[in-house]
Amino acid sequence: MTAGGGRKDVALRHRLAERGIDRTLWLLLPGVAFLVVLFCYPFAYGLGLSFQPKEGGGPFANYRTFFSDPYLRETVWITLRLAVPAALINVLASVPVAFRTRGRFRGRRTVTTLLVIPVTLGTVLTAEGLLGYLGPAGWFNKALLEIGLIDQPLELVHNYWGVLASLLITGFPFAYLLTLSYLTGIDPSLEQAAATLGAGWWQRFRTITLPLLTPGLAITFCLTFVLAYSVFPSAQLVGDPRGSTHVISIEAYDAAFKQFDYSLGSAIAMIMALVMLAVVALVLVWRSTFYRGATGGKG
């Protein structure tokens, strides 16, 4: 390129910049295309498909089928009953653990690695482990029987508790990592300042750390909730897929791949997405009532 061409190029960039256009952002195009092809298009296609029921009966027939059948309708609540407690417990449990592990201490890396390892296991391996450990003939029940605490094995798998345990094991590392990063973003001198002003540890936590952490915890809750709401393998493997853990994704799978009614399957997937969106929206509205600016001490 000649020198003159270079100058013209700079001038063009300045003119574009003055109108708020940054040409570098065009580099995002492949990513956007990817998103459109792999997410937006299938989503729109599924939405369209859900309004074209296999058996006819108008565009809303699938949705009518779902909400008129108590067995299907119930799945929304069954899944919420699993996902909301799982997300809440994960978030609440991650706070004290993150608190304890935020500073520098010997073996910090080992501890955080151990805490995060369950992410790498995958749900199937976790389910297998739970069956072996919490099952009627598992170590846990055996140990309780041996020391005489119980005289009948506890039913901890193939029901609600098995799935909840699985969701906690796989969801906690996510919640912990997110909470830890939000917590370490809060300047420790804020708590020190509160201490010099006479606040004890509980007052410091309640009046300074918690309000600054809450927006982060809300995001953490949303992400772990969405993960938990789409629970599928563990509901099958360690749950009671026809009863107490008859979650919504099972019904979507059955409709699409057992009855080959893609249209009904799509409709159930759309309902699932709507429920998740509603919960996330609710949490985000609540989050917006908190201070969400910088937490670095200088304000």
Which residues contribute to the site for other proteins (CB under 8 A)? 187, 189-190, 192-200, 203, 207-208, 211-212, 290-291, 293-299
| CA dist list (Å): 284 to 107, 211, 220, 288 | 36, 15, 11, 6
- Identify which of residues 260 and 291 has a Cβ nearer to other proteins in the complex: 291
- Identify which of residues 181 and 207 has a Cβ nearer to other proteins in the complex: 207
- Identify which of residues 117 and 294 has a Cβ nearer to other proteins in the complex: 294
In angstroms, give the least distance from the CB of 177 to other proteins.
24
CB 168 within 8 A of CB 87: no
Indicate left, alpha or beta for 140 from its phi (over 0: left) and psi (-120 to 50: alpha). Answer: alpha
In angstroms, give the least distance from the CB of 200 to other proteins.
6
In angstroms, give the least distance from the CB of 293 to other proteins.
6
Beta-carbon contacts of residue 1 (< 8 Å; ≥ 6 apart): 9
- Identify which of residues 120 and 289 has a Cβ nearer to other proteins in the complex: 289
Backbone angles phi, psi at 24, to 5 degrees: -60, -25
CA distance 76 to 81: 9
- Identify which of residues 14 and 298 has a Cβ nearer to other proteins in the complex: 298
CB 75 within 8 A of CB 299: no
In angstroms, give the least distance from the CB of 186 to other proteins.
9
In angstroms, give the least distance from the CB of 199 to other proteins.
5
Which residue type sits at 11? A
CA distance 285 to 177: 24
Which residue type sits at 67? F
- Identify which of residues 169 and 213 has a Cβ nearer to other proteins in the complex: 213
In angstroms, give the least distance from the CB of 189 to other proteins.
4
